[in-house]
């Protein structure tokens, strides 16, 4: 279904201040952040809404991301449908020492949340449906982009009909293989890891007690995230061939292998829904912006899933870009000039690079059995366990609280963790 509001008309067929290509969580968050800014926005998504809301993904949502969702007005709607975790258990293979994080280490009431994709995207779509400044074209495909000094023309196909959109700014929220980034010839650095991730939802016999687990094995990290209904989401990282073999097992054999890795502290395990495997890569764009073009989310960067940082980095990108654009608009500046867009790049590029480096270091340090490295990492876990400032800093880094906080995240009057 395609929903259209009435944009400002020009000599072209359509005229918008910005076009967001990609209506996933990150792109829709940016649109929501700008819906009351006075800017006219068109959000272009290739996937039908029914397909998008049916995805079985789940995300770790940091406290900062939860505050951004509060700032755009969807937090109170989604909060009852999220699971909270108030403990994190961090351990190394069969080492008996466990580092436990609790909210007091962060000076907060909780450490984070786990949200299912369908909950987030449905709330974002509903918020946009009520906005008169946002046009949602879905399903719609961009077939050609022509960026000129004074604007950009997008040729799209929506509901089988060809349309042309004239916009001041194009925002690429179109994923890790971003066609817009490739067309703009923005180079990337990075590599494909030797690992893949097996993801599944399970129903353990015993309660998860609002606890998230991250256990490092030589083959890769193994994470357990609590979901509503006393379910859990597992993210099992393994060498690519091993991951393919794991996901190909029948249900009984898969659960047997999972129990050996998972342990018996939650009793018997049952599998819910499908399981799937996805490759793991690190990628960072050399530039986030060009005149009339900005990259956000996976179009700009991808990281190892250890710690669940990817979606949170993208949400912070959206909040930062929204703030930069709204401020420039209020000051009468052209929002699509390189001068304006560089403010967003300077804000987010180095913060993202730190997280990319940190997650890569975690994976490489723990995903091996080299004896000196084993000693060093277990010393590191001992430091986290016993030195409170170190524990607090590591937690603040992984929750995004060490960087610049967007104004959206500072609207705390109606925020209930």
Strand partners, 336: none
Total Cβ atoms within 10 A of residue 323: 21
Residues in CB range of 348: below 8 A, 6 or more apart: 288, 300, 316, 317, 320, 321
Q: Which of 206, 222, 220 is nearest to 261 (CA)?
A: 222
Round to whole Å and give the CA distance between 334 and 348: 20
Q: What is the pLDDT of residues 315-338, one digit of tens each?
A: 999 999 999 999 999 999 999 999
Q: What is the pLDDT of residue 241?
A: 95
Tell me which residue has tokens 């951004």: 68
The domain locations on the chain are 15-80+117-190+282-410, 193-281
Run of H or E including 15: strand 15-21
Tell me which residue has tokens 């272009």: 44
Q: What is the pLDDT of residue 244?
A: 95
Homologous superfamily of domain range 15-80+117-190+282-410:
FAD/NAD(P)-binding domain (3.50.50.60)
Tell me which residue has tokens 């699509």: 336
Using DSSP's 3-state secondary structure scheme, residue 370 falls into: coil
CB 246 within 8 A of CB 198: yes
CB 300 within 8 A of CB 288: yes
Q: What is the pLDDT of residue 158?
A: 87
Residues in CB range of 385: below 8 A, 6 or more apart: 97, 99, 391
Q: What is the pLDDT of residues 169-201, one digit of tens each?
A: 999 999 999 999 999 999 999 999 999 999 999
Q: What is the pLDDT of residue 265?
A: 82
Roughly what angle, to the nearest 10 degrees, separates helices 310-330 and 63-71? 40
Homologous superfamily of domain range 193-281:
D-Amino Acid Oxidase, subunit A, domain 2 (3.30.9.10)
Using DSSP's 3-state secondary structure scheme, residue 92 falls into: strand
How big is the CA angle at 53 (ends 177 and 413), to the nearest 5 degrees? 95
CB 325 within 8 A of CB 407: no
N- to C-terminal Cα separation, the chain: 34
Query: What residue spans of 37-187 are helical by DSSP H?
Result: 49-53, 63-71, 75-78, 117-129, 179-183
Round to whole Å and give the CA distance between 26 and 175: 10
Using DSSP's 3-state secondary structure scheme, residue 184 falls into: coil
Please list the pLDDT of the chain residue by residue as tens digits (417 residues).
444 444 443 444 448 999 999 999 999 999 999 999 999 999 999 887 666 555 678 999 999 999 999 999 999 999 999 999 999 999 887 777 888 999 998 888 899 999 999 999 999 999 998 888 899 998 999 999 999 998 999 999 988 889 899 999 999 999 999 999 999 999 999 999 999 999 999 999 999 999 999 988 888 899 999 999 999 999 999 999 999 999 999 999 999 999 888 778 888 999 998 899 999 999 999 999 999 999 999 999 999 998 889 999 999 999 999 999 999 999 999 999 999 999 999 999 999 999 999 999 888 888 888 888 888 888 888 888 888 888 888 888 888 788 899 999 987 656 677
Q: What is the pLDDT of residues 187-246, one digit of tens each?
A: 999 999 999 999 999 999 999 999 999 988 888 899 999 999 999 999 999 999 999 999
Total Cβ atoms within 10 A of residue 87: 16
């Amino acid at each position: 279904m395609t929903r259209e509001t009435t944009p400002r008309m020009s000599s072209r067929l359509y005229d918008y201040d910005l076009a967001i290509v990609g209506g996933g969580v990150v792109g829709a968050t940016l649109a929501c952040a700008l819906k009351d800014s006075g800017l006219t926005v068109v959000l272009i998504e290739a996937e039908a809404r029914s397909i998008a809301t049916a995805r079985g993904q789940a995300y770790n949502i940091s406290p900062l991301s939860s505050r951004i969702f509060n700032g755009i007005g969807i937090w109170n709607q989604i909060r009852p449908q999220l699971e909270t975790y108030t403990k994190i258990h961090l351990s190394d293979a069969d080492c008996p020492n466990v580092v436990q994080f609790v909210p007091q280490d962060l000076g907060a009431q909780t450490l984070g949340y786990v949200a299912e994709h369908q909950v987030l995207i449905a709330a974002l779509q509903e918020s946009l449906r009520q906005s008169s400044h946002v046009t949602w074209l879905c399903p719609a495909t961009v077939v050609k982009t022509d960026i000129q000094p004074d604007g950009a023309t997008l040729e799209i196909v929506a509901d089988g009909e060809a349309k042309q959109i004239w916009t001041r700014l194009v925002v690429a929220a179109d994923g890790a293989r971003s066609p817009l980034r490739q067309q703009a010839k923005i180079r990337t650095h990075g590599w494909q890891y030797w690992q893949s991730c097996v993801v599944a939802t399970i129903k353990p016999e015993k309660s998860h007690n609002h606890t998230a687990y991250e256990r490092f094995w030589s083959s890769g990290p193994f994470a357990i995230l609590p979901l509503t209904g006393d379910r859990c989401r597992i993210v099992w990282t393994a060498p690519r061939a091993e991951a393919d073999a794991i996901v190909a097992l029948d249900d009984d054999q898969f659960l047997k292998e999972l129990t050996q890795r998972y342990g018996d502290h939650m009793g018997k395990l049952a599998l819910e829904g499908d399981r799937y495997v996805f490759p793991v890569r690190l990628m960072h764009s050399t530039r986030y912006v060009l005149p009339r073009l900005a990259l956000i989310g996976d179009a700009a960067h991808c990281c190892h899933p250890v710690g669940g940082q990817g979606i949170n980095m993208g949400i912070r990108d959206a909040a930062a870009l929204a703030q930069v654009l709204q401020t420039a608009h209020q000051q009468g500046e052209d929002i699509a000039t390189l001068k304006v867009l560089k403010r967003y790049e300077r804000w987010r590029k180095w913060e993202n690079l730190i997280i990319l480096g940190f997650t890569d270091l975690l994976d490489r340090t723990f995903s091996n059995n080299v004896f000196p490295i084993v000693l060093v990492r277990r010393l590191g876990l001992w430091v986290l366990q016993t030195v409170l400032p170190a524990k607090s800093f590591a937690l603040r880094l992984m929750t995004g609280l060490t960087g610049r906080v967007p104004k959206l995240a500072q609207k705390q009057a109606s925020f209930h963790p």
